[in-house]
Structure 1
Amino acid sequence: MRGKRLLALGMAVFMMTALLTMQGMKQSSNGELQLTAADVGKMCLSGSLMVGSRGSQRQQVPDSQQGESQQEVDASKEAENGAADAAAAQEAPAEAPAVVDTQDADNPSPQTINVDNGKPLVIIYHTHATESYQPASDGNFHVIQEEGTVREVGNVLTAELQKKGIQVIHDKTIHDNPSYNQSYSRSLETINNLLAKYPGASVVIDLHRDAAGYSGGSGKTTIVNGETVAKYNLVVGKGNPNAEKLRIFGNTVNKKAEEMFPGYGGRIIDKEYKFNQYVSDYHMLLEIGNNENNIREADACAKYFADVLAEVIQENSN
């Protein structure tokens, strides 16, 4: 913006100088116009101002900062499209299992979930903690305050699971502000620290909301027990060596959701990235609603998702 103002100023100076120069031109005896040394100086000065304005525009942001700014834009677009930043594509540990053995190839069941009563079993965190719902629409539906965001939805999910006797750790660290770039790298550090602190926790939820082109507020919903609730999706990063286990667990959750609340069951969305899901075979990248949904619908979805997850844990635990 500053460079544009300088450019406009330079152009104005050029025009004024040209007019003064024309007035200062002298006619020769044969009627031809001649430039004096002063005239040439004026035009050179004007030209230098124009070049200077363009130069200042180019040099306004150092090259290194320009690169970072472009990365910010690219990362933000990728995040809104459900893709991953550079860290999400990082290599998983070499010892991570690549395949899963199943007893039923048509309807495989997840491995048994080890439950240590009295200790945290579920960890909820947010790679993009500022994602928000209507009416919290500031910053293209990304706000710092907790109210109206995925963190509030995480509070509901936590409370409902704890009512059922399932111990939950809900981490509300903001990884995507002030920069989206490397959000997954920062959240990976968080989840690794939490898993080290709570080794008995095996079910991991990275809670997001989906993004949609805003058209006035008509998010995808369904009716559960007479209540309007946001739809949910489960994303599976195909780049993970445990992708098949992640898909089996996700399908188990969706099947149970549809069994308990017809029409409520979500879908599996396959992505090429990892999203750090290799940290647990029971990792869910859970997208509840999108920015077309209001916070009440998202909270309601979390309430019923807790019912579903509690059933899945009970049926598949030792």
Structure 2
Amino acid sequence: MKGKQLLTLGIAVFVITATITVRGLENGHDRDFELTEADVGKMCLSGALMVGSRGTERQDTPSEQQGKEESGAETSQGETEPTDDAGKQEVPATETPTVVDTQNPENPSPQTINIDNSKPVVIIYHTHATESYQPASDGNFHVLQEEGTVREVGNVLTAELQKQGIQVVHDKTINDNPSYNQSYSRSLETINSLLGQYKNVAVVIDLHRDAAGYSGGAGKTAIVNGETVAKYNLVVGNGNPNAAKLKIFANTVNQKAEEMYPGYGGRIIEKAYKFNQYVSDYHLLLEVGNNENNIRESDASAKCFANVLAAVIKDLQ
């Protein structure tokens, strides 16, 4: 009995502490941060709030509520979560090519695809468009102006791909403001609309940056041709029905990156969410640098990644 009482007391103290922490955040920059019951449960199990070297940084992971929204599910009070099929029905019909399963030794690479270079081939969008780099540190590295953010990095990636004859649609919709917690539900609407307009698109990129709290509290860099560039990560949501195909494509990109620029190839991070990646088997959730990298390093990384992606697209044709 005494053990149960101590456990109950411990949980109560933890919840109160978490509540005080969040209220403290609300008095600072992160006014739209909300702690749900699901979040508290996750914190009890693993400690959900990450602290970087320059302050508390939001997780770039959907909450349980966001997980429902990103699958196209209704999440109003009293409603139950529809099945994955209900979410998939909201995805517009596209000509997105399928990827061959690499478990088959006869097909170790993605299937070749037909690409019309006279039309957009790549879509770049941002679930968290306000994510920023050094020195744009206002709002706890979440700023509305474009300069110094992932949108600027997206501009560089777009320009470099277009130099190589690859047409790009770069959508700069700010999906994470005014509510960060509904970022993925809004970005799902954004990408569904874009895929409905551009049927020829083969590659979809949701461009983010990482949080330094997940990277040892420091910026991650590599040296490419004598220049310091930000490293990148590719996140794969294992909650997607096409998770295996997403991993195939992520591995293909990483192998090409390492082949072209030894030491530049990024990590593949697997998480138990969808991140809206079921909209395309060629969806990359790309994290360029983190909030301890400066914008120059991140822009330089975008140039390298553009060369890598252009080479991958050429190989797939």
TM-score range, shorter chain: 0.7 to 0.9
Structure 2 residue 66 is the aligned partner of structure 1 residue 87:
yes
- Residue 6 of structure 1 corresponds to which residue in structure 2? none
- Residue 61 of structure 1 corresponds to which residue in structure 2? none
**SS in structure 2 opposite 1:207?**
strand
**SS in structure 1 opposite 2:234?**
strand
- Residue 171 of structure 1 corresponds to which residue in structure 2? 171
Q: Could you say if the C-alpha distance between residues 136 and 193 of structure 1 is closer, same or farther in structure 2, counting changes exceeding 3 Å?
A: same
CA–CA separation in structure 1 for the residues paired with 2:161 and 2:99: 30
- Residue 198 of structure 1 corresponds to which residue in structure 2? 198
Q: Could you say if the C-alpha distance between residues 212 and 103 of structure 1 is closer, same or farther in structure 2, counting changes exceeding 3 Å?
A: closer
Task: Give the superposition deviation at 1:69.
Answer: 4.7
- Residue 140 of structure 2 corresponds to which residue in structure 1? 140
Letter in 2 for 1:168: V
CA–CA separation in structure 1 for the residues paired with 2:257 and 2:177: 33
How many residues align? The count is: 251
Task: Give the superposition deviation at 1:83.
Answer: 1.4
CA–CA separation in structure 2 for the residues paired with 1:209 and 1:104: 33
Q: Is the 8 A contact 1:72 1:181 kept in 2?
A: no
**SS in structure 2 opposite 1:187?**
helix
Q: Is the 8 A contact 1:72 1:180 kept in 2?
A: no
Structure 2 residue 301 is the aligned partner of structure 1 residue 301:
yes
Letter in 1 for 2:88: P
- Residue 53 of structure 2 corresponds to which residue in structure 1? none
CA–CA separation in structure 2 for the residues paired with 1:235 and 1:108: 21
CA–CA separation in structure 2 for the residues paired with 1:215 and 1:103: 31
* CA deviation vs aligned residue, 1:82-129 (integer Å, no higher than 9, x gap): 311433452342799999534744982112233112100000000000
Q: Is the 8 A contact 1:72 1:179 kept in 2?
A: no
Question: What 5-or-longer segments of structure 2 have no aligned partner?
Answer: 1-31, 41-47, 51-56, 72-83, 92-96
* CA deviation vs aligned residue, 1:52-108 (integer Å, no higher than 9, x gap): xxxxxxxxxxxxxxx995459959959933311433452342799999534744982
Structure 2 residue 261 is the aligned partner of structure 1 residue 261:
yes
CA–CA separation in structure 2 for the residues paired with 1:216 and 1:69: 25
Q: Which deviates more, 141-150 or 97-106?
A: 97-106
Equivalent residue runs for 1:82-161 within 5 Å = 82-85=60-63, 86-89=65-68, 90=71, 91=84, 92-93=87-88, 101-102=101-102, 104-105=104-105, 108-161=108-161
Letter in 1 for 2:165: G
CA–CA separation in structure 1 for the residues paired with 2:37 and 2:160: 36
Q: Could you say if the C-alpha distance between residues 157 and 298 of structure 1 is closer, same or farther in structure 2, counting changes exceeding 3 Å?
A: same
Letter in 2 for 1:147: E
CA–CA separation in structure 2 for the residues paired with 1:236 and 1:106: 24
Q: Structure 1 stretches (4+) deviating beyond 2 angstroms?
A: 67-82, 85-92, 94-108, 111-114, 213-218
RMSD: 3.1
CA–CA separation in structure 2 for the residues paired with 1:83 and 1:95: 22
**SS in structure 2 opposite 1:181?**
helix
- Residue 310 of structure 1 corresponds to which residue in structure 2? 310
CA–CA separation in structure 2 for the residues paired with 1:106 and 1:303: 33
Letter in 2 for 1:87: Q
CA–CA separation in structure 1 for the residues paired with 2:117 and 2:164: 12
* CA deviation vs aligned residue, 1:237-263 (integer Å, no higher than 9, x gap): 000010011000000000000000000
CA–CA separation in structure 2 for the residues paired with 1:282 and 1:104: 19
CA–CA separation in structure 1 for the residues paired with 2:146 and 2:269: 27
